[in-house]
Chain A
Amino acid sequence: MSAITAEPFTLEFDVQSSALVFIDFQRDFVLPGGFGEQLGNDTSLLLEAIEPAQRVLATARRIGMFVVHTREGHRPDLSDCPPAKLTRGGQTFIGTEGPMGRILIRGEKGHDIVDEVYPILGEPVIDKLGKGAFYQTDLHQILIDRGIKTLFVGGVTTEVCVHTTVREANDRGFECVVLSDCSASYFPEFHRIGLEMIKAQGAIFGWVATSSQFIDSVG
C-alpha cells in the first residue's frame, strides 16, 4: 500500500490498482498550427506541463503502473461530430486542413500525441469524441477489466477535458488525483480555479498533488 501527500488530505492507493491517465497531450492542442491556436490561444502555456509529465510517465513505466492516453478527435467522415460542435461560435475548424493535417481528425498528424509523452506498447489509447474520456468510449471497461480504483491524471486542458474526465470518473467511483504541474490551461486563472474546484469540500471530485509528490509516493 502506498500513500500520496495530496490536497486536501493524504490518499492511500495501491500501484496494482492505479492508472496514470494522460489526457489529450496532442499536437493539435499543445503545438502551434493546430486546433488550440486556431481558436486564438497561446499554446506555449500548455508546453509547461510536458516536462513534469515526462518525469511522471517515466516513473509510472519504471514501476509498472498501468498507463492510458486519451485523444480528442473524430472519425474522418465526421459522423461522430455533433453539428453543435462543428459550428460552435459560428466558425469551425474541425476537419479542415491545417499545417498538421485535418484538425482533430483521427489519423492526422495534429491529432496524435506529442513525441515527448508518446504511448508505448501496452498503453491503451482512448479516442474520444467529446471532452469526457468516458462518454461513448471503452475507457470504463478497460479500467474495470484491470481492477483499477485510483487514477493519477495529467493532461490538457485542466478545466475542460481533464475536469470533465475527472468528474465522470468520480461519478463512477474512481478516486482521482490531478497532478497539478502535469496539467495546464490556456487560461492560468482557469488552471488555478480548476484545481481548487477538484479538491474543494473535502475532495468533492478528487485530490491534487504535484509530480514530485507522485514520484515520492511510489519510491
Chain B
Amino acid sequence: MTVITATVAAEPYPWPSDGVIDPEHTALINIDWQHDFCGPGGYVDQMGYDLSLVRAPLIPARRALGAARAAGWFILHTREGHRPDLSDLPANKRWRSRRIGAGIGDAGPSGRVLTRGESGWEIVDEMAPLDGEVIIDKPGKGSFYATDLDLQLRLHAITHIVFTGITTDVCVHTTMRDANDRGYECLVLSDATGAIDLSNHLAALKMITMQGGVFGAHATTDALVSVIGSDAPGPIVNEMPVSALL
C-alpha cells in the first residue's frame, strides 16, 4: 500500500494537517446509507421530504468507496437503528418521531422504522459492505456513543478519517465532531454527503471551515480521488434509480 504525501485540495486547508495519507492509518467511514434515509418508503420518505438530495451523493460515495478499497484503507459502515425491543430508544426520541408521522419501531412500508433487522434499516445496495469491513450499529446520531467504534479505530491504528454519508448536518456532523474531539484528523466529502435541506447541507460544510477548520476540512470526491487514485466500484446489485441533483 502506498503512503501518499500529496495533500487533498480541501477547505479551509490542504488535507491532512500532517501532510501524509497513510493507508495503514486511514479509514473511510460511510455513515447511514440506509434504505430508511435514502430509499423509497423509508423513514425520511414517510416524513414527506424530497429524497433526491440524499440520493444524489450516492454516485460520488460509491466512487470514494471504490477508491478507498483499492487504496487498502480500513472501511467501516454505520447504521442508525434500535434493538427490536426498543430498550435503547429514548422516550423523547420515540415521541418526536411519532409526532412527525414516522414512529421509530412502528410498522412502515419498509418494515419497522429504524429497527435492526428490518429491511428499511439495511444499507442500500450501492454502498453494500464487503467481508472484512466493519459495521457499527448505533442508537444515536454520533457513531461513537454506545458503540465500539473508538476501539475499532484504535485497534487498527487509525489516525485519519474520511467521511461519506447522510445526513451531512446530523449523523455525519455529530460523528465528525466526536471524532475530532478524540484527535482524529477528519475530512468530509462534500459531494458524497447530503442533507434533506440544501441550505443545511451547505451550512454544515461551512461550519467545518470556520476558525481554520474547527472540525477538520471538506473536499470533493474528485479532489480526494485525484490524490489517492481510483478504482471502478463494481456493478451494483439490484440498482435503484438515482435522481439527478436539482
Contact = CB atoms under 8 A, between A and B. Distances in A.
20 contacts: A77-B132, A79-B134, A80-B152, A80-B155, A81-B155, A82-B151, A83-B155, A124-B87, A124-B88, A129-B151, A136-B150, A136-B151, A138-B139, A138-B147, A141-B140, A141-B146, A142-B87, A142-B88, A145-B87, A145-B88
Nearest to A125: B83
A76 to B, nearest CB: 11
A122 interface: yes
Interface in A120-136: 121-122, 124, 129, 136
A138 B155 contact: no
Interface string B145-163: 1111011100110000000
User: Which of B91, B139, B146: most chain A CB closer than 10 A?
Assistant: B146
Contact of B155 (A82, A124, A144): A82
Contacts of B134: 75, 77, 79
Contacts of A83: 155
Residue of B88, B134, B145, B148 with highest tally of chain A CB at under 10 A: B148
Contacts of B139: 138, 141
Interface in A48-91: 75, 77, 79-83
B97 to A, nearest CB: 14
Contacts, number: 49
A136 to B, nearest CB: 4
Interface residues of B, number: 20
A137 B85 CA distance: 16
A172 interface: no
B89 A145 contact: yes
A65 B88 CA distance: 17
A192 interface: no
Contacts of A75: 134
A79 B88 contact: no
B91 A122 contact: no
